[in-house]
Structure 1
Amino acid sequence: MNAPARLARLAAPAAAACAALALAAGPASAATTTVRQDTATGAPYAGNWQISTVGTLNFSTSFLGMNVTGTCDSAQMQGTTTSAGAGELTAASIGACHTSNGFSSPATALDLGGVSDRSGQISYDPVQGGRDGVIAIGGDLRITLKGQVLGLTVTCIYGFRTGGADGLTFDVYNRDNPNRPLPDDDLQGKSDAIQLVRESGSSSVCPSSGTGSGAAIGRGESTPGSGVFDRKLYLTS
């Protein structure tokens, strides 16, 4: 499967990221949101951020009666945020992808030139014994899978939904949360409930849906504008 992804129409989902990694309007919460530097008592953080997956992005679907699993080596997103969690997506890429039936794709940088709405929000929305918040990546994030079937090229285009809303939604865990999905000492995001939905332009033999999962870490810049993402982040009310 050839899996270059395209981003377009980033509209705020009702309900993201990881992640990873790598992050549009999140679910409503009664709590306020503050993105902080380093710790729960750190100064509010506003500036550039980067979200990078740790490990692979995983997906599965049923293709012509067979269970097909796949992985993408990585994904990365960059953007800006206010200390209240509102921000904008500025760049995104996805690593090489491989599937259990021998399809593959090269690493791809996503063209955001035609995206009219790149707004975003990280929301503080803690669950006892679980996450600390939610991050949502909305709109038309797509993955295009191509491969040979009986000598013919088949193209399958999938969008993403999480919790019934367009886009990706990830639970967020602070760096000291014992329930965080990764051992890394970083702000983290994870989702096991990503749904792949077939979109127009796909071949009729493409499965109508699939599932995906992934985890990522998020960081800011210690030196604004440096492009070096070494600042630990922390989410509070």
Structure 2
Amino acid sequence: MKIRSLLPLSLVAAGAVVGATATAASAATTTVRQETATGAPYAGNWQVSTVGAVTFGISFLGTNVTGTCDNAKLKGTITAAGTGALTAASIGACRTSNGISSPPTDLGDLPRNTGHVTYAPVARGRDGTLTIDGDLTFKLEGDFLFAHRVCYFGFRTNGTPGLSFDLYNRDNPNRPLPNDDAQGKSTNITLVRLPGSDGLCPANGTFGASAIARGEKVPGSGTFDRKLYLTS
């Protein structure tokens, strides 16, 4: 499964985004609910949107290069039991500390991603996990060192292909943002250069972002105004 994007080197953050559904690793059951811990189960469209800049770092010729992207959004569908799919992804303008930039871009050719939101609480920490399964990859292009170079990268979470995020309920005091919303935060995600890349492409990198997740009050409206809550 692949995500393909034509962006300058600064798109390391495309993975930030953001994220969408996660691997079930807990024996506990999972229920996605409307608004609160006692709300009705929710199934339908969802959106994950970053709050604040997406940040990333890459290692280029022994030098650490940092960067930011304005925002990122992921959209998809989800069942009340936490299974889901990614249907759209976009990222805002990006900039790097060595002067490379890219305009806002939609990510095309999305794979048929499957996964799960999983209720997996940790004391004084998260309430669950949010992951996109599969060997997701993307293509970066940029002009540097007097040539136009193409780079291919894959996402890895704890050494496994894919993206995974910690998920926090809207009333969790340990949530990364003050917003009154279900939230996700990237953790232990790295970028790995893939075969076919130019020999001078960065060999590795990391990225991070915090985001809020919402559903729709009116199914199919495209307005993501339904707050969500994760329980067993």
With normalisation by structure 1, the TM-score equals 0.88
Paired position in structure 2 for 1:12: none
After superposing the two structures, state which structure 1 stretch, 43-52 or 151-160, moved more: 151-160
Give percent identity, aligned residues only: 60
Q: Is the 1:19–1:189 contact (alpha carbons within 8 Å) kept by the matching residues of 2?
A: no
Structure 2 matches for 1:53-72, cutoff 5 A?
Answer: 53-72=50-69
Q: Which residue, 37, 41, 46 being the options, matches 2:43?
A: 46
State the Cα distance separating 1:133 from its structure 2 match: 0.1
1:194 aligns with 2:197: no
Match of 1:121 among 116, 119, 122: 116
Distance 1:208 1:2 in 2: 12
8 Å contact 2:20–2:74 — kept in the other structure? yes
Q: Which residue is equivalent to 1:169?
A: 164
Residues 2 and 106, structure 1, Cα contact 8 Å, conserved in 2 = no
Describe the SS at the equivalent of 1:232: strand
Corresponding letter in the other structure for 2:166: D
- Is the Cα contact below 8 Å between 2:140 and 2:152 reproduced in 1? yes
Unaligned runs of 5+ in 2: 1-7
Partner of 2:221: 226
What per-residue deviation string (whole Å, max 9, x for no partner) do you get for residues 179-237 of structure 1? 00000000000014210100122111122211111111000000011000000000000
Aligned amino acid, residue 74 of structure 2:
M
Letter in 2 for 1:229: F
Report the more deviating stretch, 153-162 or 130-139: 153-162
Structure 1 residue 18: deviation in Å?
Answer: 6.9
Deviation at 1:144, TM superposition (A): 3.2
C-alpha offsets along residues 55-75 of structure 1, whole Å, 9 cap, x if unaligned?
122111221121101112111
CA positional deviation for 1:141:
3.3
2:84 aligned to 76, 87, 90, which one?
Answer: 87
Aligned in 2, Cα 1:131/1:25: closer, same or farther, shift over 3 Å?
closer
Which AA in structure 1 matches 2:51? V
CA RMSD of aligned residues (A): 2.0
Query: What is the DSSP-based 3-state SS (H/G/I as helix, E as strand, rest coil) of the residue aligned with 1:167?
Result: strand
What is the TM-score of this pair, normalised by structure 2?
A: 0.90
**2:32 corresponding residue in structure 1:** 35
Residue 27 of structure 1 and its aligned partner are, at CA, apart by 4.1
1:93-172 alignment, distance < 5 Å: 93-112=90-109, 115=111, 117-172=112-167
